[in-house]
Each structure stands twice: as C-alpha cells, then as structure tokens.
C-alpha cells in the first residue's frame, strides 16, 4: 500500500468516527424536542375550572360552556349543578369552604352572599384585575352589591328585580286595568275571580327561604318601610309600614285571592301555576318572561313594576348573580380568564337573548337585538336602577333567617303580623348588637 493510499484510508476512518457522534447529537436533539415541546403539546391537560350553579341556570349556561371550551385549549370550564333555591346553594358553598379548600374555583354568587363570603376570607379581591372605566359599564347597584370594604369580590353578570306579571286577556275580559296599589290588586283579583275569569288571583313566594325575604323587601318598600339601615344598623321591622306590609300578604290568603299553598311556594312553583293558565297575577323575576312565552299563556300576559301604597314608590328588590374567585383555587388566572370571557358584551347578549335574564351591563338594556325580543328591557333599566337593596351586611344570612321565620309564622297564622314583626325586630337588634 502506497503512502497516499494509507493516508486516504486513515482519513475515511477519522471521518466515520466523526459521523457517529454527530448522528448521536442529532438523535439526542430530536428526543429533546419530542420531550419538551411536541409530546407536552399533545398530552397537556387543560386546567379544569369548576363552578357550582343553581340547576335551572346551570342548564342555561350550557351554550356558554360549550363555546368557551371550544375556544380555550388551556382551560376546561365545568359547571356542577345544585338545587334551585338560592340559600340551599349558599349552604352548599358554605359547607365546602368550612370543610377546607373549596372544590370550586369560581363562586357564582347571589348579590346577598358577598359580604358574608368576603368577610370570611373565601374570595379573592378582584379590584386590581379590572379598571374603573370597565366597571362603570355596569349598574351601580350591582357593583356595590359585589363590593365589600372597598374591594370588588364579585363581577356583575346578571342583575334582577321583582316584577308583577298579569294576564292581559283576563283583565280585558273583566274591563279592568292593571293595578298600581295594594288595594287595587286585591279588588281587581276579587272581581276577576268572582266573574270566574280566573281561578287564582295572586301567587307569590311564601315558602320559608330567601325568596320570601326578597319578595317582602318589595312590599316593604311599597309601603314606605325598611328592614335594616346599613349605615346606622337601625331596624325598621316593627315600624307600622312593616306591619302593614305583612298584613297585606296575610290578607291575600285570608281573602282567598291567594291559595293557602303560597306559604310553600318558591319561584318555580309560582311560575308553573301562572303558566298553567289559571292565575291572574304573579310576583316573580324577569326570567319567567321567556319561559312563560313558550307556555299556553304565550301572548296573553305582560309585566309591570310592583304595586305600592298611594304616594309611595314601587319597590323592586335588587337581585342578581355574578362570579367571584375562590381564595383556595390553585388557578386564579385561569378563573379570571373565564370571568373575562363571561363579561364580553357578545357573550352576554347571546345569553340574555336566550334566557331573558336582566343584564347588569347597562348598554344591553337598549341593545337593538335584545329590545326586538324583549320590548320591556328599557323600562327594566329604570326598575333596577331604582330597586331596593336587602341589607348589605356580613350578618345578612342570619338576619334573613330571622325575617323568614317570622314572616312564615304570620302568613301561616301562628302569630299576628304585629307579634311577628316585633319579635323579628327584637331578634334582629340582638343580632346586630343594638
């Protein structure tokens, strides 16, 4: 072998040796890309964000949840459905928090739970996540209802206000107008019943639960009375207006315009009775409107602000729901991403079009698409802007519990309205340390 041949052989061997490590390095590189980018991208699980909601609304959220999950790979929004009574849902959230870390990342709250949940430290403050300008798009009452000690804990989603539903066809047949005062409601219902046009005069929520307190606030406001002054903590339940308010409720049963069963009805029972076609008047929230429009009374009813005493204002109790972030969630940013999504005007328009709930975002009350479907929306804005608040105090749940117990005792006949209101006032003063 010549020298040049030997050199050539040596070169080839060296080149072969060099090729192996290069291939090896390329191989390692490929593995790294697979491990750190490709496989995680395919196997990464979306972060679950859970929220517990009343059953009826949970079902109505299904399109939102579907749209959200289709457009967000990183998060999986999950709704767990609970009972329909607000205080049962509140109790279940409360037990979850008391037992330790809540399994829910978002807390979908009734306006009256906020002070208690915030005072207990169960919610994360939201004020740093949202600007004043964005908040000014919402109804003032809803912002205030979501605020505790100057911090926002609940983002407004939907507002609420009690209204009077009436059968337009029945009133027309009797030649009567919708009532404005308590007295007119009783007289009109009596006449329509006597003429056998309606079987039932008036249905309202008389079951011992939060809905009873909310409904009573409207009657109280319509009489010019008050429950608790949030600034002075003064209690007005034994005032003459409060006693008259309770007498009105008891009289609807005594005179037979309301069935005795009202003392066991929540929102849904009264809605179904109204939809069955037998009932002239119903007190309920605006969610009933689209549902009743699909029932046999479609096109035969209308809504108006609640009745009041002559010279007093119509009272609508401010209700409403919105999400907050649980202080025990491990994913506050993802929970906030859901809240931001829910706050988009387009998402809300779609939801309200479908459900007829009351918006909390002011511009939606005059939104042409929504007004085309619900012509009363602009008037509703006026109703909710002038609505009555349940006392925004941390002891609200106990105060409401006292009121519910005594209202129930009076409407079922075991105490007189005066005895009931005096006892309720006494217990409420004890609770508030007055």
Between 85 and 334, CB nearer to ligand GLC: 85
Angle at 304 between CA 288 and CA 154, to 5 degrees: 60
Is the CB of 174 or the CB of 383 nearer to ligand GLC? 383
Report how far residue 114's alpha carbon sits from residue 141's, in angstroms, rounded to the nearest whole number. Answer: 13
CA distance 81 to 424: 33
Among residues 50, 51, 79, 86, the one that binds ligand GLC under rule CB under 6 A? 86
320 binds ligand GLC (CB under 6 A): yes
Looking at the Cβ atoms of 209 and 336, the one nearer to ligand GLC is 209
Q: How far is the CB of 126 from ligand GLC (least distance, A)?
A: 19
- The least CB distance from residue 137 to ligand GLC, in Å, is 20
Q: Which of 49, 50, 104, 110 is in the footprint of ligand GLC by CB under 6 A? A: 110
Question: Which among 261, 302, 57 is positioned nearest to 168, based on CA atoms?
Answer: 302
Is 211 one of the binding residues for ligand GLC (CB under 6 A)? yes
Point out the residue whose Cβ comes nearest to ligand GLC: 319
Q: How far apart are the C-alpha atoms of 391 and 408, rounded to whole Å? A: 20
Question: Would you count residue 210 as binding ligand GLC (CB under 6 A)?
Answer: yes
Q: Please report how close the Cβ of residue 287 comes to ligand GLC at its closest, in angstroms.
A: 8
Cβ pair 256, 176 in contact under 8 A: no
> Closest separation between CB of residue 228 and ligand GLC, Å?
16
Closer to ligand GLC by CB, 87 or 309: give it.
Answer: 87
- The single residue among 53, 79, 111, 192 that binds ligand GLC, judged by CB under 6 A, is 111
How far apart (Å, rounded) are the C-alpha atoms in residues 171 and 304? 14
Binding map of ligand GLC across residues 148-167, x = CB under 6 A, - = no contact: ------------x-------
Task: From 220, 252, 214, select the one nearest 238 (Cα to Cα).
Answer: 220
Q: How many CB atoms lie within 10 A of CB 348?
A: 22
Asked if 326 and 104 count as a contact pair (C-beta separation under 8 A), the reply is yes
Q: Which is nearer to ligand GLC, 110 or 275 (CB)?
A: 110
Whichever of 243 and 292 has its CB closer to ligand GLC, that residue is: 292
b/e map 177-205, b = 16+ CB within 10 Å: ebbbbbeebbebbebbbeeebbebbbbbb
Binder of ligand GLC out of 53, 64, 96, 112 (CB under 6 A): 112
355 binds ligand GLC (CB under 6 A): no
Burial class (CB in 10 A: 0-12, 13-18, 19+), 297: buried
Contacting positions for ligand GLC (CB under 6 A): 86, 110-112, 160, 210-211, 214, 267, 285, 319-321
């Amino acid at each position: 072998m010549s020298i040049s041949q030997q050199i050539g052989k040596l070169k080839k061997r060296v080149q072969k040796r060099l090729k192996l490590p290069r291939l090896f390095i390329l191989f390692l590189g490929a593995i790294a890309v697979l491990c750190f980018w490709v496989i995680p991208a395919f196997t990464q699980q979306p972060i679950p964000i859970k929220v517990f909601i009343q059953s009826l609304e949970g079902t109505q959220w299904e399109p939102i949840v579907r749209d959200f999950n289709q457009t967000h790979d990183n998060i999986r929004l999950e709704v767990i459905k609970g009972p329909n009574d607000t205080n049962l849902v509140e109790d279940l959230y409360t037990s979850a928090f008391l037992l330790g870390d809540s399994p829910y990342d978002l807390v979908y709250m009734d306006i009256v739970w906020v002070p208690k949940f915030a005072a207990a430290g169960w919610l994360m403050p939201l004020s740093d996540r949202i600007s004043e300008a964005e908040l000014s798009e919402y109804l003032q009452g809803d912002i205030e209802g979501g605020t505790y000690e100057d911090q926002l804990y609940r983002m407004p989603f939907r507002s609420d206000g009690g209204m009077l539903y009436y059968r337009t066809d029945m009133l027309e047949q009797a030649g009567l107008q919708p009532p404005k005062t308590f007295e007119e409601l009783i007289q009109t219902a009596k006449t329509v019943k006597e003429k056998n046009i309606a079987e039932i005069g008036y249905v309202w929520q008389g079951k011992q639960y939060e809905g009873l307190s909310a409904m009573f606030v409207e009657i109280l406001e319509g009489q010019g009375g008050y429950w608790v002054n949030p600034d002075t903590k003064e209690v007005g339940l034994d005032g003459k207006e409060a006693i008259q308010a309770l007498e009105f409720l008891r009289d609807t049963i005594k005179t037979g315009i309301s069935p005795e069963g009202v003392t066991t009805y929540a929102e849904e029972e009264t809605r179904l009775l109204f939809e069955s076609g037998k009932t002239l008047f119903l007190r309920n929230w605006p969610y009933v409107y689209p549902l009743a429009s699909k029932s046999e009374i479609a096109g035969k009813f209308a809504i108006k602000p609640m009745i009041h005493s002559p010279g007093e204002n119509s009272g609508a109790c401010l209700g409403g729901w919105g999400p907050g972030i649980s202080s025990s969630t491990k994913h506050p940013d993802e929970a906030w991403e859901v809240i931001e999504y829910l706050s988009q005007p387009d998402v809300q328009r779609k939801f309200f079009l479908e459900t007829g709930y009351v918006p909390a975002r002011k511009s939606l009350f005059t939104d042409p698409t929504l007004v085309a479907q619900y012509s009363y929306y602009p008037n509703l804005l006026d109703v909710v802007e002038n609505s009555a608040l349940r006392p925004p105090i941390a002891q609200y749940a106990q105060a409401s519990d006292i009121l519910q117990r005594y209202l129930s005792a009076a409407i079922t006949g075991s105490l007189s309205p005066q005895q009931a209101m005096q006892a309720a006032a006494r217990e409420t003063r004890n609770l508030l340390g007055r």
